[in-house]
Amino acid sequence: MKMVSASKLRRAQDAIQRMRPYASKLKEILENLSSSLDSSEGVFSKQREIKNVLFVVINSNRGLCGAFNSNTIKLTTSIINEKYKSQKAAGGIHILTIGKKASDYFRKSSYNLVSSHNEVNDHLKFDTVSPIAEKIMADFAAGKYDHVEVVYNQFKNAAVQIITSEQFLPVAAQQGTKGEVRVKSVDYIFEPSKQEIVKDLIPKSLKIQLFKAVLDSNASEHGARMTAMHKATDNASEMLKALKLSYNKARQAAITGEILEIVGGAAALEG
């Protein structure tokens, strides 16, 4: 299992490393653009009173990968209990899952599981993630949700995965170190028009951000499973050594007991 995960990790790592620069630059443009829009132009930037919150929880369909799956679930429940207590009490917390482990947990819990998309991990491509992002954006625009957060494991390396929660909607403007809105003085030239660019660019960027999160989670899963299987192999080897030592001690004690019985019997016959 370690070898299989190692081979899959290489492909998953290459995919997320190629995606990150593009997604990062597109997000920067999106944040700069959103900060200059008014409420009528930026439907996905509209700040509303938070009554209904959607959490998009991304993890895997399979286990045997250490704390990979439990970490996303723990962070989600922790954020809900600490940050959205009133919304939880009012029934305003909604969960969308990508990954069977999260689906199984939230289906059995008291949270409102909106939908599950376990097929994404089996067919990991942009075309399978794009409809999910489109549905989330449509529900936000319709006022069904006032805030959307994505919880996933961000890939750093094979041994380290950073559990992350990011605001997906509304699109947040760039902020400075003290939390104030920071607008970069970028002189964009809009062609054909600002309205058409906003209409096309923001949905595309949001789809890319969700796809990047899924790719991050996929690479993190293989890294976590490879590490977990390596530790399991080491633990099994140590256990095997300990059992072998115990067996040899028991065997030696039995042989010694038999020798003592033979010697005692011979001494009794001679007497």
Q: What's the confidence (pLDDT) of residue 257?
A: 92
pLDDT per position in the chain (271 positions), as tens? 888 888 888 889 999 999 999 998 888 887 777 666 655 556 888 888 999 999 999 999 998 898 999 999 999 999 999 999 999 999 999 999 999 999 999 999 888 999 999 999 988 999 999 999 999 999 999 999 999 999 999 999 888 999 999 999 998 765 544 545 455 556 777 777 777 777 788 899 999 999 999 999 999 999 999 999 988 888 999 999 999 999 999 999 999 999 999 998 888 888 7
Asked whether residue 233 is assigned to any structural domain, the reply reads: no
Q: What's the confidence (pLDDT) of residue 177?
A: 44
Please give the tally of structural domains in the chain. Answer: 1
What CA–CA distances, in Å, run from 21 to 91, 100, 154, 212? 38, 29, 15, 10
pTM score, whole prediction: 0.82
Asked whether residue 268 is assigned to any structural domain, the reply reads: no
Q: What's the confidence (pLDDT) of residue 68?
A: 94
Asked whether residue 40 is assigned to any structural domain, the reply reads: yes
Nearest Cα to Cα of residue 16 among 191, 213, 254, 158: 213
- The dihedral through the CA atoms of 32, 51, 76, 54 has a sign that is negative
Q: What are phi and psi of 93, to 5 degrees?
A: -100, 130
Instruction: Measure CA of the first residue to CA of the last residue in the chain; give whole Å.
Output: 65
Q: Whole domain around residue 214: which residue ranges? A: 2-228
CATH assignment at residue 126: 3.40.1380.10
Q: What's the confidence (pLDDT) of residue 175?
A: 55
Residue corresponding to tokens 């995606």: 19
Contacts of 71 by beta carbon, 8 Å cutoff, 6+ apart? 153, 161, 163
DSSP state of 141: H
Asked whether residue 188 is assigned to any structural domain, the reply reads: yes
Residue corresponding to tokens 């069904």: 144
What CA–CA distances, in Å, run from 215 to 10, 63, 100, 111? 12, 18, 16, 26
Q: What's the confidence (pLDDT) of residue 132?
A: 96
Asked whether residue 152 is assigned to any structural domain, the reply reads: yes
Tell me the CB-side half-sphere exposure of residue 222, using CA atoms within 13 A: 21
Burial 36-47 (b: 16+ CB within 10 A, else e): ebeeebbbbbbe
What CA–CA distances, in Å, run from 265 to 251, 254, 255, 268? 21, 17, 15, 5
Q: At 244, is the secondary structure helix, strand, or coil?
A: helix
Q: What's the confidence (pLDDT) of residue 35?
A: 66
Asked whether residue 203 is assigned to any structural domain, the reply reads: yes
Q: What's the confidence (pLDDT) of residue 38?
A: 58
Calpha distance 150→145 (Å, rounded): 14
Q: What are phi and psi of 97, to 5 degrees?
A: -115, 145
Q: What's the confidence (pLDDT) of residue 43?
A: 82
